[in-house]
Amino acid sequence: MDNDVFDQFIEQLQRYVRERLIPAEKAIIEADAIPDDILAEMRDMGLFGLTMPEEYGGAGMNIAQYVRTIRELSYAMPCYRSITSINIGMVCSALKRGGTDAQKAEWLPRLAAGEIASFGLTEPGSGSDSAAMQTSAVKSGNGWVLNGTKRYITNAPFANVALIMARTNKEALPKNAHVSAFIVPMDTPGITVGKSDKKMGQAGSHIADIIMEDVKLPADALLGAEGGGFVMAMQSLDNGRLSVGAAAAGYARRALDSALRYANERKAFGEPIANFQLIQQMLAESEIEIYAAECMLEDACRRADAGENVLRKAAAAKVFATEMCGRVVDRVVQIYGGAGYLAEYDAERFFRDARIYRIYEGTTQILQLQIAKHMLREWAAQA
């Protein structure tokens, strides 16, 4: 997207977030759902097709523009990003990287128009451990038969399509070559979606199990080469991790703005608590860390757009931004004091909403191991 056009889009998005999305948050919390009229507006704004190429009906944003957009959108409550991010982050990325011309022509316009996608990797007994994956895809005639269960799948209750990872070899092969990726329409016979899980926070965003029992798929449901699914998933997760990092940075900014406003309004000992130095310390530390996260995200995106392998840097940015967000929302509760523990005030919700960022798209601990593994591998290659 042209930079001038993008700047205009960001200005429009910032107004939309503050004038439309934030005022709707109370109703979303009560209903645990985004209203249909807001979803229609988000589709009209092109928020489901940010990264899709223009020839498929998308905006054609590069990674830096996409991540900046997510950061601005995530100033509002997390469900707005959640409903769009699987489309524009992981599934679009996988289709662009591994899809045939026919697959791109079939699915990218539909996703850009606002059909909702899910990404099925995690299972009851496996997440990052692909060797423990139980979902299987067995060749049958000219197609495949899928069996298994995926757990904690974002958007599953209302998804139109899912990108499902399944093992196409019973043995755990080197480089996870036993895992393949499949494009699975959610209305395919044999698919059942479980009840939406009750969560700590993130109202309006839904996760559920996807259960597959003898799900018959055509041969062209396979995305990319057989055995290439896990690599494709991990490459797509680079975008997903940058998106989660951006969401954390955007929400931390919202929480800090809320604390700044409260500190200036709340009085103690006859003056605003914003005048107290230890309150100022918490405000300043939060500003410093948000700025650092924003810089990390911008650097990782710049490198990704330049064609660099950013697996390690995307992981680092995600870890720092999400851990930072956790620290910021904790300080915000502290600044609010007793009010911060009450559901009547925003600080309590910020605290609950932010906790998941350190878990999904790779926990902090898994990503730390991944970063260290790549550091050690590079050191060994140079030794």
Residue 97 belongs to a domain with what CATH number? 1.10.540.10
Same domain, 273 and 319: yes
Longest Cα separation, the chain: 79
**Distance, CA of 227 to CA of 348 (rounded, Å):** 44
Q: Model pTM? A: 0.92
Same domain, 91 and 136: no
Question: Which CATH number belongs to the domain containing residue 290 in this structure?
Answer: 1.20.140.10
pLDDT reported for residue 129:
72
**Distance, CA of 22 to CA of 370 (rounded, Å):** 36
Q: Which two tokens stand for residue 4?
A: 């001038």
pLDDT reported for residue 350:
98
Q: Which two tokens stand for residue 57?
A: 């009906």
**Matching residue, tokens 């997207």:** 1
Same domain, 190 and 144: yes
pLDDT reported for residue 128:
67
Same domain, 225 and 144: yes
Q: Which two tokens stand for residue 212?
A: 């597959």
Can you list the residues of the chain whose pLDDT is less than 50?
none
Alpha-carbon 297 to chain mean position: 14
Clarify whether 123 is annotated catalytic. no
From 74, 89, 115, the end of a domain falls on: 115
Same domain, 131 and 47: no
**Distance, CA of 195 to CA of 205 (rounded, Å):** 13
Same domain, 374 and 247: yes
CA angle 90, 96, 98 (to 5 degrees): 95
From 162, 196, 230, the end of a domain falls on: 230
Q: Using an 8 Å Cβ cutoff, are 188 and 143 in contact?
A: no
Strands 117-120 and 161-167: parallel
pLDDT reported for residue 245:
97
* Structural domain of 154: 118-230
pLDDT reported for residue 130:
67
From 87, 115, 143, the end of a domain falls on: 115
**Distance, CA of 173 to CA of 371 (rounded, Å):** 22
Same domain, 237 and 370: yes
**Distance, CA of 355 to CA of 136 (rounded, Å):** 32
Same domain, 179 and 122: yes
How many CB atoms are closer than 10 A to CB 331?
23
Is residue 285 packed enough to be buried (19+ CB in 10 Å), middle (13-18) or exposed (0-12)? middle
Strands 271-272 and 179-185: unpaired
pLDDT reported for residue 173:
76
Same domain, 378 and 242: yes
**Helices in 20-137 by DSSP H: which ranges?**
25-31, 36-44, 63-73, 79-85, 92-98, 101-112
Question: Which CATH number belongs to the domain containing residue 134 in this structure?
Answer: 2.40.110.10
**Distance, CA of 233 to CA of 216 (rounded, Å):** 22
**Matching residue, tokens 């020839």:** 55
Q: Using an 8 Å Cβ cutoff, are 138 and 107 in contact?
A: no
Among residues 19, 308, 361, 378, the one annotated as catalytic is 361
Same domain, 110 and 122: no
Same domain, 217 and 263: no
Same domain, 213 and 349: no
Structural domain count of the chain: 3
pLDDT reported for residue 199:
95
What per-residue string of b and e applies to 151-185 under the rule 16 or more CB within 10 Å gives b? bbbbbbbbbbbbbbbbbbeeeebeebbbbbbbbbe
